[in-house]
Amino acid sequence: MFVNCNDEGVPFGETRVQCKISDVLDNPVPDELNKLLPFVLDDADEVPFGVQFNVFGCGGFAIGVCISHKIADALSFFTFLKTWAAVCRGDPRSSIAFPEFVSAELFPPKTTLGFEPRSGISTDKIVTKRFVFTALKIQEIKENIGDTTYPSRITTLSAFIWTRFIATIQADAIHEGEDNRFYAIVHAVNLRKRFNPPLPDHSFGNLYRIAMTVPTKNSQQDCRNLVNQIGESIRKIDAENIKRLRDGSGQYLEFMKEGTESFMKGEMVTFNVTSLCNFPVYEADFGWGKPVWVGSAGLTFKNLVVFMDPINGDGIEAWISLKEEEMGTFENDEIMRGFVVS
């Protein structure tokens, strides 16, 4: 409900890493990358931000950064890093787009009693792995699906990965008995460009909402229909939708609360998608040049896909977090393996 600023700054640590940075770049292992972060994820409840400066034996370095989702979404995070880097390298203030703190004005605080935003964070053993889809493979997936109304890379890959995810967990459910759960695909949607007039990218806060798609029963076989369902769910979050959200956001919170309750009871299985594509991920230049690679650590949020642009611009990296026993089946799925390069 508020941010308590105590002027103590943020944790900053320096470490020595006993390997070469090429060992990380040649084979990034998300769960190993957690060692480059300033704290154990989701343990630092009261710390909004932290930094760890990692120096490798070869002289290369990596900056590990964590930010609390209580205060910022992904675009705010990367825009802040870009601004921070510009200040460090001495850019004139007139050329820097400093964050605008507009969240409380746009969405005044509401009572959130009974709402648990951390419901997706799991105590199960979660494994994160990186899957790379080249532009050529994404095009091949599109051709296999056929013509759709919403033929974006994100809708296409979301639908494709979901079919392999659902094949994984339904195979397990067959052994355990009849599967009576229902499924939902949840996309985080950036609201800034959907306001009327649009907000600048440096508007700071959690300026997103979710688009929920409940796939039809035959969606695993009819991927074309699923792509259209996902695209339509995202399209509905427009300026008029945002206006209704601002006028009566209590209804949205109630909807989220009901969804959380279904999730906690095991009645609903959610598949969560966040796209960081076209975000300023590679623009944080502290004075040594732009980064040669940006990646994620192993996350504790299950059934999660994070899409990122690779530095060479060819295709998409999908960072996927699943329960350990499900990941083994998922990554060895023959159809999945036919379209990824790593």
Cα separations (Å) of 90 from 64, 79, 82, 85, 96? Answer: 22, 17, 13, 9, 10
Give the 3-state secondary structure of residue 240: helix
* 202 is a catalytic site residue: no
* 147 is a catalytic site residue: no
Q: Which residues, in sequence order, are CB contacts of 212 under 8 Å at separation 6+?
A: 184, 185, 186, 233, 259
CA distance 193 to 159: 24
Show pLDDT as tens, one digit a residue, over the chain (342 residues).
Answer: 667 788 888 999 999 999 999 999 998 999 999 999 999 888 777 788 999 999 999 999 999 999 998 889 999 999 999 999 999 999 999 999 899 998 889 988 776 655 555 555 666 799 999 999 999 999 999 999 999 999 999 999 999 999 999 888 876 654 455 566 778 999 999 999 999 999 999 999 999 999 999 988 667 678 999 999 999 999 999 999 999 888 865 556 665 555 555 555 557 789 999 999 999 999 999 999 999 999 999 998 999 999 999 998 899 999 999 999 999 999 999 999 999 986
Domain ranges within the chain, ordered by starting residue: 113-337
Kind plus residue range of the DSSP H or E element containing 101: strand 100-101
Contact, 318 vs 161, CB < 8 A?
yes
Query: Hey, what are 267's tokens?
Result: 């009645």
For residue 266, report the phi and psi dihedrals to the nearest 5 degrees.
80, 10
CB atoms within 10 A of CB 290: 13
CATH code for 113-337? 3.30.559.10
Instruction: Specify the pairing of strand 268-275 against strand 182-190.
Output: parallel
Which residue among 23, 91, 285, 314 is the active-site one?
Answer: 285
Which residue among 69, 91, 314, 333 is the active-site one?
Answer: 69
